[in-house]
Structure 1
């Protein structure tokens, strides 16, 4: 079921024809000598041991295979399996799972590869080489390769090609990952399966199979086994494959016919697709690893290199290189390798410009910003490291740590350009510090001691854009130091008095890049010094005139022009003074020879007659206090009982009880109003002795509609006072009453409003 599901998911990977296998066509001796080797330069080939399956139906676990007409990468040769040979040709959807109880493993394979082996197939043979190197081609296929299943990383059958000199006991395994001692297993060669099963030596993995030429679920690429040998010596080879842990999920190793031969190995191909090509401009030395010869011939793309006769070749250009080594016996050892080069890294020098002033020695540079100048966007390159000198860049030492904030004087530094393949180039980065420019002065109109914000930030920015149309923005500062550190940028209006030297410092920006600093002089064109605004009063419209004076010094009038406005409408007068007779808002604008305008405002109000809102009377210990509350638009003065004597205060103190008149007028004397007030009181004692002083008792501050009853403390009524009879002489029925305390009641509108007592003194 597992294989059926995989077939449904990936129907495109389809191979309709299987390889053919034959266990009887060749004997083991013939498979080695006539199929695998086929070389006169390898002699005395003798098979010394064969061990494999012993199935009751006679099936073997090794034999000949023919892949003609299929997509299998080896056309024919010898195959060793951990199952029945015939099972190899079954559909991939089947499971290769052949075993029988008496099929044992191999102790040497267990010891060398640390496995628990079952179902071992072994062919051992001796041979004598006549050259100094041999090689053969093979691939490994297994049911242990599981598509999209991390068990691929956990279990693997094992195989080995052991070789040793016949008179020695130490073997070397030739079935290893090229350039390493790692044996070829599905756990050591596979693509990415999952995070728990990452890719390992993926360059040597060929494919997963779903409906392929064999029953196996996956296979490696064709690999090359190499061995250095001594001509004339006898060597022993052991080809062995076995299941690990159990006898299920079989595997096989396919050896290419005729590939076991004299070899002058030049190493693996250096290919772009394998990520091991040569960097542009670099060279590589080719030298056979396993062979020597009396005659050496080198070829590039099939063309003999006439002048190359040595045992090594310096390669500086791509191509397919091959070598032929011919011994004195006439045996030829051949080797070839494809050398590819990565594309040349296209890069350019860069210049980073830091903003500064003429006295700026050191500035801050963001070195990674040079990448946009250095790199060709059509290439996938990056600039990753930066160095102070080329030697450090070449050796990769003393890297600049904080490259985004690199403080430096004007200099040249170096960046390493990487292409992702391990190749690099070194690009120069010139660091330049610009000097400031001097802009045309920005004029303002400021009077001495004006205290205003004469420099308007929006007008200033508009002026800067007129001066530099290539800028996208500006930053404005009061000092060089602030401009360099980008501290305290000016964002609002400022006054001329805040400038230290009559200059502002501007950082000119293009997007976020600094184009340079500029010094902007601020020129004060001056303005007329006018007095403060005035509020004036007018008694009667059209009946009197007020003089409005601009306030300018009469000695400087000829240097100025004047414009007068009434309620924002221009008046025809153009002198420094005018007379007006209408209330309202007037303004004069005084313009100097530099077109600077000063203005003074006049508010002319028609004087209102005061309105008395309230008169507050307070009874204090030393008399009464009267306070007058009014409304009106002018300045007013006050009088009590005497319209010829006024005071600025609205409060009168020590006022006696009685009827009084208050007067209010404006200080210009335009209008005056009056109001009578009454302060109620009574005599606290009287002395009716005929001396003319305090001879009678009365009440004060009340004139009409009242009665006062006077009686003893026991309530005996003696007399009644009213507006016609206002005073009492201390008599009852024309008889003097004795000295003492007497009581009174004030009655108004039929109700008692006040009671009290007083003393009669004799």
Structure 2
């Protein structure tokens, strides 16, 4: 057996995988040896296999007896043509397709060509028997007429074999029957032609499901797809339901460039994933075979269990088969590996027909007929050595957890043992108790009350093999048998809980008691967290409880004793108190021990005073029990007190920055600690250098907890002030008096002197503040009166006097200014920062209000100068002319009158008088100017005072030249106006588009009688509409 690894896809995606072989095929029959077999077909209802061989030879094989019959002579009339396909319905009916496009029918010895008379109008290229099933596990409708599917160059035909009549073709495009079996029917779709995408050809194919017809797409062309697809098949995620989950259906097809695979749902897209196998090998047939169908669920939503589905691929280099691709959860294309069947060698495989032994649940496909260049072979699949060793986990106690393989029942009860239908759908079952076959027990469930070890043997109805299930152990009890082997009294030292348990059986029920009350525990074991009297009751059957004996349980937790004292090393003659951390209690006795010997006088005391050195312990013993707990030892020592003196006394005076050494009596056995003003300094040696003022002394210790002090010595430190010359200003201008003073106050214990530019200023001696007009570098010297060796000098201070800047404001325009006009003010200065009273900081500003404007210029050294200017603005004229209106229709005039007293008037920017006549609605701009030349303006609105359209309600066309026509104002210049007038009967007596000639009361040149008429007037392009009566008087 040679293993063929997957060829990586060169198209959209690639993958690498390694799969385990799970089937092998045995050649169980060889027929027609030495002949090239072109096609082999067996209908799913009939046991006869029809074989098409070279030279138009036709054979019929009984698949049960393996008898071969040569029927070639019956087709001698077609020796001039070549048969290319065959489809047998039963023993007496077979169809053949010829290379010239004819279909030959052989029925009960009769021979005829099916053609136009039967409704087939185009050249056939392939044939197949249409499947006659629908949903629900391949239920076959035996009453339905058998149908032959005919693929042709111009559509697909369905030929009723009984009526010998074909239906109209589906579409006009070329079709080809790829697969026609009891569970799948797939052919090139003829309702749509091939489409081109990126140099590839998209071929539509049709797959008929149980309820619907689905269309997918195969691909051929460049980029390695190859051309001339000879074979294709569909793979479903369900063994029994073929149109359940289209997203998991996959298609396989083959041609001269190998085998291809894609997903049905995604096959429409040119860039959808495609896998490629057997690159460069001609593939002539691809199909698949099911195995171990009884050992799993065949529905798409079920557990596939051990069900197998293996591809069979016939090529020019022999037969290949895959590992199982049956899955319901695969994401992406199903991965698999192809294996070469060496038993057939490299013989060309032209066709494959899967043999169906049973179409009922569980399905049985027991072999495959393989047409090769050297003869016909029947292959039988063999799964035995790949199933593995061990039992098949399919048996369980009904109602119990699936993993529970042991069960105890009460006497008189029955247990039900079952084979899970999810793991085995067959009906060939035999139950065993031990090695004893249970005669007649061959159903999925076994009801028994007899104890023992049971298992079932499950037979594969399709193959000569069987699997043994896991073992189930059944026991029968009349009353529970258990042990509770504890002493009557249980004591646990240092424990917060105790575990109590009895024997376990899944058939038993348990309940625990403490001090006569149920604890709520129902398992075979429990954890007690309280002291008390416990027992357990066990039940093997409903309503019956067997109690255990009582056990008194005590959980004893003595406290952890710990000893504490002030110091482990103590001075001789000083009593020491040792404290115990636990109180006196009736639950235990306190024992004190010194160097291992008990001190009787200290018994049951939590605190004692001692004066002897040694190792002390405390032992706690539980009252009436053997539980004890001991403290850690506490070692106490006693030593003599030390003697300590200082080498200095009284008061010591030093300058700031100096230090002095203090020494105590030196003894290596002593420990030291120094104090300053009663506070520990952290020094722990006999000699220290000190520089901080205060009162010093030292303590010495020769035993822990005891310190002996020395005499005290006082240290005084002359602190020198931090001299710093300050001023009240950062900078001074020429002419100012500078004030210099010392920062911080100086006590009277210092002598003060001043220097300028290094020279003493005796006149300033003793002063802490001076006033001067002289620039220079100043310093101050302070000398301690108490210790003249202590003195300090201030840092030098440089005093400078700066120039005062000059500033002047100038006005750009000197004429009179009206309110709202602007004037520019600018400042002349020699440098510095500008700040106007307006807040602006630029050399030039613009103002438009009266007032006093100031500017301040500050030099970089802080010297400042100011200037100001007064600006006066003349007020603007104040007046008001009210809006008015005018009616153009009445040719009226309105006069606008401005207030008197102004020097000039401008109407719409044209100078005039204080009055202005208006005859039409409009907007007027009035501007007035006063004696100072200041102006003000107002917009005056003159609106219309008459309606847009006015219609008279009567007129007198009597020829007296007064009111002889019907007047309508407002539409004189509107060419879109339409005027219609009707009499009382609704007849139109006047019409005018545009009302340029008013109505004179006449119709067709004759005067109308007096009376009321009715008008409809539209104006302004239909936006205005008027209607009403108008009366003619004479």
* Same fold? TM cut 0.5: no
Q: Could you state the TM-score of these two structures normalised by the residue count of structure 2?
A: 0.24
Q: Could you state the TM-score of these two structures normalised by the residue count of structure 1?
A: 0.30
Which one has the bigger helix percentage? 1
